[in-house]
Every structure is written in C-alpha cells, then in structure tokens.
Amino acid sequence: MHKKLIHHLQQLKEKLTTSCTICNGKSCGTCSAQFDHYEQIAFSGIPLVYWNLDLHELNPESPGVLEVTKYLEKLPLAYDEGRGLFIYGKNGNGKTLCACAIGKQALRQGYTVRYTFLGDVISAFVDAMYDSDAKKQLREDILGVDFLILDDVDKAYISEDSKYIHSILDGLFRARAQNCLPVIMTANKPLQDILQSDEEVFTRSLLSLFDESLLPVMFMGADKRAELKKDAIKRFLKE
C-alpha cells in the first residue's frame, strides 16, 4: 500500500471518529465499523477515486446501469452460482465505477474482493516465472477471493516470448469457474471482438466458459468520466 493511501486512511479514521455523534470522538463500534469497511476497500485494490462513488452518479435508466443494479440485488445468488459480468462499452461510461460498486457491496456483505488489471496479472506472472513462492502467492490472490474484478481486459498484451501465460490464464479462469467464483470484467469492446483480435489475450477455448459464467452488459451514452472531471475542477477552483 503506497504512502498516500496510508495517509488518506489515517485522515479518514480521524474524520469518522471525530464526526461520530454516538461516541463524540472517543471511538465506538459504529465509527470503527465504518473505518473497517474503508480499510477493506483499500486492501482490495479498489482505486481511491472510486471509494465514495456509487451508482447514483450515473443515470439509473441508462443501458448497463440497470443490469448492474439488478445484479447487485441478487449478489448472494450470483456468488452461489458463480455468475460474473462482462461489462463493455466506450471510455467514460461508468464501467469501472459499476465494477467497483459491485466490489464495495460485496465487501459490505462479507465477501472478499480483489480489484486489478489483467495486464498487471500477466506482468506479475512473468516476473514470478522463476520464483515459485511469488507465483504461489499470486495464484492465491487471484483464486482465493470471492469476487475478482479485472479492469480493462482488452488493454492487456501477451508478448511472443510469454505465450505460456495463455495456459496460466486458462487455468485460472477454469479454476474459478469450477469453484463457482465470480469474475467481473470490464473492456471497451465486446468479448467476441477481443477473441478475434490479432493480439489475442484469451484462448478460444475460454469462449464457451465465459459464455457460461459471464453475463454480457453493454454500456452506452456520453463520457461520464469527463463530466465528473469537469465538475471536480469547477468545485476545486470555486473553493
């Protein structure tokens, strides 16, 4: 965990404690539970910018958001059946925000969560190629969580000298599917397009597996990320 994140958690703990109307700054079960939730979010890898952003930031009737809302309502069932989501659409439509919202809700319900980029997973396995302990730990981090969130899967790349990663990814996803462990993926284009691209990340043998375990959710609309950024800049300059 980097220094800025640790500092933010320290400030957050102080703020939650001092603003608590139950203990009046003395620390109690209520404010401690609130801080514990944020600490879980931090250790899950969910980016800081999404800690306090939820679905209310988006149009509830827009394509994609409605499906994610229904998924959240059935989260325990999704976990029991190992049902994940493949969220795709253009940049800035709220895909990552929704994936993080699922992760935060899963944490609230007592599940374990890991947010990461598929490219980082690939790089980590390449780095751990000759380190059995590091490879074992990485497998536990990916296979040992209830909900795995993989962001920007279509931006990952496997070099020619690392094609063995295909077999590793195949094994990881099959192990999660066989153990009914959900995966939440985000991408800018449909899974079929990713599978047909020249820079193939997934083997075609995974297509049927994804069809069974990942429900496709398409996001459309304006670049919400740009709108949020403009609002943040305006607030900063105004303050």
pLDDT tens digits for 88-126? 998 878 899 999 999 999 999 999 999 999 888 888 888
pLDDT score of 224? 56
pLDDT score of 116? 94
Lowest mean pLDDT, pick from 45-49, 59-63, 173-177, 234-238: 234-238
pLDDT score of 198? 58
Q: What is the mean pLDDT of residues 65-74?
A: 94
Is residue 233 over pLDDT 80? Answer: no
Phi first, then psi: give them for residue 186, nearest 5 degrees. -125, 150
Same-domain pairing of 120 and 213: yes
142 pLDDT tier (thresholds 50, 70, 90) = confident
Q: Nearest-CA neighbor of 149 among 201, 191, 106, 110?
A: 106
User: Cα–Cα distance between 179 and 38 in angstroms, integer?
Assistant: 28
pLDDT score of 185? 93
Say which DSSP state 28 is in.
-
Same-domain pairing of 21 and 118: no
Same-domain pairing of 107 and 183: yes
Are 224 and 57 spatial neighbours (Cβ–Cβ below 8 Å)?
yes
Same-domain pairing of 25 and 60: no
Same-domain pairing of 109 and 188: yes
Same-domain pairing of 38 and 76: no
pLDDT score of 128? 82
pTM metric for this prediction: 0.85
Same-domain pairing of 220 and 185: yes
Same-domain pairing of 16 and 109: no
Same-domain pairing of 184 and 130: yes
pLDDT score of 200? 63
207 contact partners, CB below 8 Å, separation of at least 6: 191, 195
User: Cα–Cα distance between 85 and 81 in angstroms, integer?
Assistant: 12
Domain that holds residue 74: 47-238
Same-domain pairing of 145 and 33: no
Is residue 20 over pLDDT 60? Answer: yes
Domain count, the chain: 2
